[in-house]
Structure 1
Amino acid sequence: MLWEWLVMPQGLKNVPATFNRTVSHVLRPLRAFAPSYFDDIFVHSRAEDGLSAVDVHLRHLRKVFEMMRENKLYANLKKCVFCAPEIPVLGCYVSKSGVRADPEKISSICSWPTPKNQTELRQWLGLANYLHKYTKDYAGLIQPMSSLLKKDVAWDWRPEHQDVFDAVKKSLASAPVLMLPDTSRPFHVVCDASDFAIDVLSCSLMLRVVSAS
């Protein structure tokens, strides 16, 4: 007698990729306002055609729910957030104003004590690297600390390393809100490189409306 799973069981190594591919395929017709990442669906809406943002949002939610029902996908109501001005997305908070870093992650990084060995430094950099886009010239800034992680390099924490450590903390403590890309404007790609880092920036120029001096 042969048995066949009715649904994919947990524990198989290809479950995450298969599930992500399935959800992406199901929601493909709605991706303009409902992108997904694994089991998270982010529905975003704005006022249009004389309707308020809330009315448009409710319309979008209905389309998402109908698509989920047709494909037997189920949502956990306790984990759902509706009509929120800001939502957490992969360690950041996204709103119409832009993308800001998660305050809890910033607090964890800024409260981290001075590393005493390579393991502790590697752990701290693992946290800080996740929010590197909020620190200007991050790769160049941390280069002195990164050099301590090279093979066969003896641990020697000097004042210059402490200065860099404190500078990254200070930068993240005042992390800016990053603007969302405006696809109606042309994008420019800016590149730079040095002996120990490369930098690529995709940006769009904002028009100055009013200026005074």
Structure 2
Amino acid sequence: MPDNYDFLGNAADNWLSYWAKIPGWNISETAALLLGLDPDAKEELNKSEPFFRLRRLMFRARSMGIIQSPDTPKERVEWALSAGLPVPEALKELIYAGSPIIDWKTKAEKYKKLYRSRKQKNSKLEKAFNENAKSRNSLSNLIYIMAVEKYNFKRNYSPAAANICHAATKRGLENFPTPQVVANWLKLAADEVE
């Protein structure tokens, strides 16, 4: 840490308190700060082997989804502590002293509103699903009746599926399902009707 660092923030070059106030740090900034280095001191960083090793560790943690980039200073310090990395005391003090007070009431109201919105959307989806179920049931009834009356469909064994496919081919319908797929649909229709 530089000799001219002033913990009270009186020095013109108090870079640590400056960085503690920034809302988000990227990986390089975090690595420098955890090592007690000024992220803007590029020459010093380029000579620091621990800086490059710590950056590599953090890039790996980000690629594995353990950390985000950028992240808040508090989250970065807490991650470093949980990973067993040394964190300069001055940095910890500045970060925790400047941590905002969490407004739980506003958060609760936000989540309550989100919950109501989701509940309303779920009820709309259920209604649409039930309406679709009625339509599917009516369609299944029609398919089943036509298959029984026109193609002599029987549940256990029936050439009805092959006959339906043959009729579709005769009419020039392209991309019509295979007899096996038609047979499966007929069985599903029979399950709903019978």
In the superposition, the TM-score normalised over structure 2's length comes to: 0.21
Structure with the larger helix share: 2
Bigger Rg over Cα: 2
Structure ranking higher on relative contact order (CA contacts 8 Å, 6+ apart): 2
In the superposition, the TM-score normalised over structure 1's length comes to: 0.19
Structure with the larger strand share: 1
